[in-house]
Amino acid sequence: MISTALDIAQALVRFPSVNPDYDPASAGEGAVTQWIEEWGRAHGFTVWRQPVLPGRENILLQFRNGADHPHFMLNGHTDTVGVGGMSIAPFSGEVRDGRLWGRGASDMKGPLACMMAAGLRLKNAPSTWHGTLTIACMADEEFRFRGVTAMLDQMVGRDSVEPHLERSEASKASNSGEATDSRDARFARASSVGKWGSTESHPTGKVATESHPASGLPDFAVVGEPTRLRVVRGCKGCLRFAIHALGRAAHSSKPHEGRSAVVAMAHAILELERHFATRLAQIAAPGFGTSTGSIGLISGGTGVNIVPERCTIHVDIRLLPGQDWRATHQEIQSLLGARCRQVPDVQWQFDEPSVVDPSFEFPASHPLVTTACAVLGQPAPDIVFFSCDASKLAARGVPVIVLGPGDIAQAHTVDEFIALADLEAGTEAYEKLARSLMPAA
């Protein structure tokens, strides 16, 4: 039976789970989610599935060891970025040169596999710790963080994602009195026979009936992005939005009759680059550096012989603690309105942000941070520039750090890999940290 981080990671990599927002032909996380569910049931975890988007689900593996609290969550994600341009077979899960190769090996099926392997070790040694362990496997981290948001909304009883929820057999049973908690309709637990059920196996051999996962938010959490097993106490946030230049089409033989949206956008890009290098560079926070901006996508025009009436760019701003994203967004709108009038009659249109992800920061003196640093032998914690699910947990008041094997420099690359030694080290780190946070009673 598969139990090591390498074997788990290899299995996960071999299931394509490209986020459909990057590849509409992708089926999403479904195959990986199904495999994790079957693995969790086979190893005696309580397994919960939570619909997030059509055909896309979160999955939680949980083990209560004597008490609901302390409750420690290991959080990972099951989606990946796309595979275009990769120089290796993206889903082969090949092992060579002391590395596991493939899309998601580093970000973050490798770290997630370490969480699962560590969770299994803990479950098989219940006398060494006390509390509840949850391994939370999230959908849609790579695009809009809708998986972790859905999980947190439902843990605190909110219904903001209700339109996406699907009824399970357990939720249908609530109408006949078999389940009474409204969360049954949202967290559907899989029984040992693969259907929605309401029993879980305990190490005592007894069977207990539960209506939902461990109530409330976790007491502390780790998000397993690849940090080279460095304890991270803060991350930058992210603001993403589209800007459209709206001009007037004309035949290219009479360009004066049109208003070129592409030319207008060219001027706007130069203004934005100056804004990023001056205004955003003035927004700083200790350890975080400065706020930054980047233009990642551009599209415009319909034919070489047509003056383009529309051009669109997509902007990515990295946010710092205390930075008001609304003010940052409004400054850019005002900038283009005031400084980008080189092409007469062109209108500027700003979409509502597609991503608003806050930054987060916990003090270096926070007990979770100091405990993790002690376990890892790290003198001081780090801050990183990328964003991840951790900020959403922090925003709900959950103490959280980012800690994972592998290197973020390998994430999203054409030859993504994780070192085999890192997989074993990651498993040991998560296991030791869990025992430190949930000592035996």
On the question of a cis peptide bond just before residue 108, with omega within 30 degrees of 0, the verdict is yes
Residue 227 DSSP label = B
pLDDT for the residue 164? 29
Q: Which domains does the chain have, with CATH numbers?
A: 5-234+359-437 (3.40.630.10), 237-357 (3.30.70.360)
pLDDT for the residue 441? 80
Structure tokens at 152: 């947190």
pLDDT for the residue 216? 80
Report d(CA 257, CA 323) in Å as an integer: 43
Q: Is 138 helix (H, G, I), strand (E, B) or coil?
A: strand
pLDDT for the residue 212? 64
Report d(CA 140, CA 19) in Å as an integer: 7
Report d(CA 312, CA 23) in Å as an integer: 20
Q: The sheet that has 417-419: what strands, in order across it? A: 95-96, 99-101, 417-419
How many other C-beta atoms are found inside a 10 Å radius of the C-beta of residue 251?
A: 11
Q: What is the pLDDT along the chain (441 residues), one digit of tens a residue?
A: 799 999 999 999 999 999 999 999 999 999 999 999 999 999 999 999 999 999 999 999 999 999 999 999 999 999 999 999 999 999 999 999 999 999 999 999 999 999 999 999 999 999 999 999 999 999 999 999 999 999 999 998 743 333 222 323 222 322 333 333 333 333 444 333 222 222 343 333 333 334 567 658 999 999 999 999 999 999 999 999 999 999 999 999 999 999 999 999 999 999 999 999 999 999 999 999 999 999 999 999 999 999 999 999 999 999 999 999 999 999 999 999 999 999 999 999 999 999 999 999 999 999 999 999 999 999 999 999 999 999 999 999 999 999 999 999 999 999 999 999 999 999 999 999 999 999 998
Structure tokens at 14: 């071999």
Report d(CA 63, CA 213) in Å as an integer: 10
191, HSE (Cβ side, Cα atoms, 13 Å)? 14
Q: Could you tell me the pTM of the whole model?
A: 0.85
Q: Which residues pair with 407 in a beta bridge?
A: 227
3-class DSSP string for 11-79 = HHHCCCCECCCCCCCCCCCHHHHHHHHHHHHHCCCEEEEEEEECCEEEEEEEEEEEEEEEEEEEEEECC
Query: Do the Cβ atoms of 298 and 252 come closer than 8 Å?
Result: no
Q: Which residues pair with 220 in a beta bridge?
A: 72
